[in-house]
A and B are shown apart, each in its own frame.
Chain A
Amino acid sequence: MSTDKLNLSTFLLSSIHDMKNSLGVMASYLEDALAEGVGQGPVDTPARRRTAQALYEAQRVNNHLIQLLALYKIDQAFYPFDPQDQPLCDLAQEALARARPLAESEGIALDCDYPENLYGWLDYELVFGVVVQALHNALHYTKSRVRLTFEANNEIGATGIVIRVEDDGPGYPDFLLAQGNGAQQGINFNTGSTGLGLYFADVVARMHQAGGKIGRIHLANGGQLGGGRFSLELP
C-alpha cells in the first residue's frame, strides 16, 4: 500500500538523519580523544590504534549516510543543486580539517597543493563530500603520505579543474579500477565494497556540466606518490 511505503521511506530518512548526527558526535569525541594524546608519550599504543580505527569507521559510515541522503534527494529530483564559483583554497582547508585528526593520530603526512585564487564552478556540499570521502579512503590505505591537489585542467581543449587525492599505499585493486572507470557498477559482495563511494562520486561528477562538457572521475595507480590516485574532473 502506498501509505505504508510513504511511512517506511519517511522512517528510513529520519533514521538516517538521526544516525548521521549521532555518528557525527561520536566522531568528534573520538577526534578529541586522539588529540589529547598527540605529543604525549608513545604514539603507537594499542588503545590509540583502536581509537583511530574507530574514528575511521565512524567517519566512513557517516560519509556513507550523507551520500545516501544526497543520492536519495538527487533521485527524487529535489536535491538543491547549486553550483557556484567557489574558492578552492577554502574547500581544501575545510576538507583537510576533516581528515587531519585521523592523519595526525596515525602519523601520516597530509599535504596539499593548489594555486592561490583558483576558483571552481561546483556545488560545494556535493564536491566536499566526494573529497572528504577520498581523503578518508586514502588515509586508510596509505603507508605514510596523502596529498590533495587542485589545479586548472591543462589538457588541450579542456576547461575547469581537476581535484586529485593520491597516496603511497598499494594502489587500487583491479576490480575497483574497472569499476571506477565506468566498466562496471554495483555491489561486490566478495570484497565487501558496496561501491557507494565511487557511485556517489560518479553521480556528483556527472551533475556538473558546462559548455557541452560533463564532469568525470578517474582512478589510477602510480601517480606522484606511487599508490592510488583518485581524480575528479569538473568542467
Chain B
Amino acid sequence: MTIRSLPPPDLSKTSFLIVEDFEGMRAILRDILNRAGTGRIAEASSAVNAISMLERTRYDVILCDLHLGQGKNGQDILEEARHRGLLAPHAVWLMVSSEKAAEMVTGTVESRPDDYLIKPITETLLFTRLIRQIAKKQALAPIEAAMREHEYLKALRLAEIQLEDKRAQTPHIWDLKRLKAELAMHSGEHGMAKAIYEEALNLRELPWARLGLAKIHYNEGRLNDAHRELKAITDGNRAYLEAHDWLARTLDKLGDLEGAQAMLERALKTSPRAPLRQLHLGEVALKRGELTAAAMAFQSSIDLARKTPLKSMQPYLALSQTRLEQNDTNAALSTLSALSIDMHDTPAAKLLANAMQIPVRLKSGERNLAQNLAQDLAKLLCSEAQHLPTEAVFNLAPHLLELGDKATANALLGSLASNHHEHPEHLERAQAIYTAAGLESEGREVLQSAARIATDIMNRGVKLSREGNLDEAIELTREARAQMPNNARLLLNHAFLLIAWMEKNGRESSRVQEVRECIQIARKLKPEEKRAGELLARLELLGNDFEV
C-alpha cells in the first residue's frame, strides 16, 4: 500500500499545554496542533510559568521540553505536578527531548512521563504518539483514579481485569503488567510482583524487571541476592540510574562504603541533578571521613531540592555537622541559618536550627552562649523530643550532657529509645553517648525503661485485642502514639487494631483517616515493611466501593 500523510486526529475537545523555552519550537508545535483543529492551546516558557498554569487548569495533554535552560527541567515539573496532584487521571504527559537520555529508562510509575518524543518533532510523530497515549491513558484512567484514592487492591483488580480481557488483546500489555507488579508491591503482595518480574525475565533481559526482583530481595533482607541482580543491570551500562541508587543502598547496608560511594558518583556523573542521590553520597562520604566530598554533596542536595517537594532538614543538618568536623564554625552557623530560612514552614526546623548552634558555640569556645541557648530551648526540646530526627538527637545529646543538662538529654534519648525500641543499633549508639559522658548506668536505666514502656504497651495491646477488648486496646495504642509518634511497630499495631474494630463494627471515616495516617508514617520510617501494604489492602476491603 502507498502511505499518504495520516489524517490528523480529532483534537477539537482536547486541551494542551506546551512547556518550551524556545519560541521557535513553541511555534512549530502550535502549528502542528492547529492543523488538527485543537481547541485550546496554552503555552508556558518556563518551569515557574508551567507550574502556575498547572495549578489553575487541568490539561488533557502536556507537551513539555525536558531541557528548559537554567533551573528546573521538565522532569522536575512532572514530578512536582504528580506530587501535588495537578494532573487529571487521564492526562497525557509527553516529554520532548533532543536525544535519548538516561532519565528515560528509569524511574517508577510516579516519575515516568507517558512517552518521550525525540526531536525533530514531525506531525506524524506527534499524532501517532498522541493517538496511542490518549487511548492508553483512557484505558488506564480508572486504575490511576483508584491509585490516587490509595485503593491499591482495587487498582490491582482493575489491572487484572484488563489483562484477562483476551478479546481486547491490549496493546499495552507490558505496561499493564509492570503497573500490576508495582501495585502488588504496594499492597505487600511480593509473590505476585515476583511472578511478573520472573515471567518478563524469562522472555527477555529487561532492566526494569530485574530491578523489581532486586527490590524484593532487598526488602526481604536478602542483600546478597539483591547485590547480584543489581550488578547484572549496572555492570554493562551506567544509564540505568535507579539500579545504581539501589546498588549503592545495598552496598551501604552490606558495609561496603567505598563501593557505595563509587556507585553514587558513577550515577551522578550521568545525572548530577538528583538531590536524594547527592544526599546519599554525602552520608556515605561523611561515614568514610571524606569531609570535603561530603560537604559538596550536601550543598548540592540543598541547592537542588530548595523550592521543590523534595526539600528536607536532613542535608542542612548533615552539612552543618560536616562543617563542624572541618572546624569551620562560621560555615556551620550559616548552614543553620539557611535551614531556618529555607524551611520556615516546618516548626521542628526552626527549633533545630537554633539547637544545633549549641555544638557549634561549644566548638568555638563560646560556652556561655551555648549554655544560654540550651537553657532557652530546654522546654521546647523536651516537648518536641518525639518529633526530632534521630541523627540530630545523636548529635545534640552529648553536648547537652557536657553542659550538665541531663534532664533534656534524657528526654531526647529516652524518646528516641521508645520510638526505636526494636532498633538495637540506635540503642547502642545512645548508650555509647552516656558511657562517654561517664553516665553508663544512669543511661542504661533511661534507655531500658523507655524501651520497656514501649514493649509493655505492645504486649498489653496484643493481649487486650486477643481478649476481645478492642476498644481498650485502641485507647491504649492511641495514647501511646502521642508519646511515640515515630514508632513504626506501634503505628502498624494501632492501624491493625482500628481495622479489626471496623471489620467488626463497620467502616468509620475518621478511623479510616487515622489508619491511613499511621500507615503513611510507618511507611516513611520503614519502607521495607510489608505489613503496611497488607494493612492498606485490608482497609480497602472495608469500603463498599468495590463495584468495578
Contact = CB atoms under 8 A, between A and B. Distances in A.
B98 A17 contact: yes
Interface residues of B, number: 38
Nearest to A148: B3
A111 B100 contact: no
Contact of A109 (B2, B104, B125, B171): B2
Given A77-B238, A111-B3, A87 B132 contact: yes
Given A69-B99, A113-B1, A94 B238 contact: no
B423 interface: no
B214 to A, nearest CB: 18
A96 to B, nearest CB: 5
A83 B237 contact: no
B122 A111 contact: no
A94 B239 contact: no
Contact of A78 (B24, B102, B174): B102
A98 B122 contact: yes
A207 to B, nearest CB: 11
B238 A78 contact: yes
Given A21-B98, A79-B239, A110-B2, A94 B270 contact: no
Interface string A75-89: 001111111110100
Interface in A8-54: 17, 20-21, 24-25, 27-28
Interface in B216-247: 236-240
Contacts, number: 85
A82 B104 contact: yes
A80 B239 contact: yes
Given A28-B120, A77-B238, A94 B125 contact: yes
29 contacts: A24-B119, A69-B99, A70-B100, A77-B237, A78-B237, A78-B239, A80-B104, A80-B105, A80-B237, A80-B239, A80-B240, A81-B237, A82-B100, A82-B105, A84-B174, A94-B125, A97-B5, A97-B122, A97-B124, A97-B125, A98-B122, A111-B2, A112-B1, A112-B2, A112-B3, A113-B1, A117-B169, A125-B100, A210-B205
Given A80-B240, A81-B237, A110-B3, 15 more contacts: A24-B120, A25-B24, A79-B239, A80-B237, A81-B239, A90-B129, A90-B132, A94-B125, A94-B128, A96-B3, A97-B5, A111-B3, A112-B1, A117-B169, A117-B171
Interface of B: 1-3, 5-6, 24, 28, 98-102, 104-105, 118-120, 122-125, 128-129, 132, 169, 171, 173-174, 203-205, 207, 236-240, 270
Interface of A: 17, 20-21, 24-25, 27-28, 69-70, 77-85, 87, 90, 92-94, 96-98, 100, 109-113, 117, 121, 125, 209-210
